[in-house]
Amino acid sequence: MNKLCILVGTTIGGYVGWALPDYFGASFFVSFLVSGVGSIAGVWAGWKLARALER
């Protein structure tokens, strides 16, 4: 369950991190960097969700 939540969190975080700067017309490099930050945030959120579901 832990790995699944992290996978889903990474996917959603990376997509949102890419789509948000792209929507505002940012360059490829900025979208790439924000996508990385979104993926890291998704890992954290997925991990927290998996821990909450285990209890």
What's the pLDDT score for residue 54? 93
Torsion of CA 27, 31, 32, 38, to 10 degrees: 170
Q: pTM of the predicted model, to two decimals?
A: 0.89
**Does residue 55 have a pLDDT over 90?**
no
Euclidean distance between CA atoms 37 and 51, whole angstroms? 21
Enumerate the domain spans of the chain.
2-54
Q: What is the mean pLDDT of residues 3-13?
A: 97
Task: Express each pLDDT in 19-48 by its tens digit.
Answer: 999 999 999 999 999 999 999 999 999 999
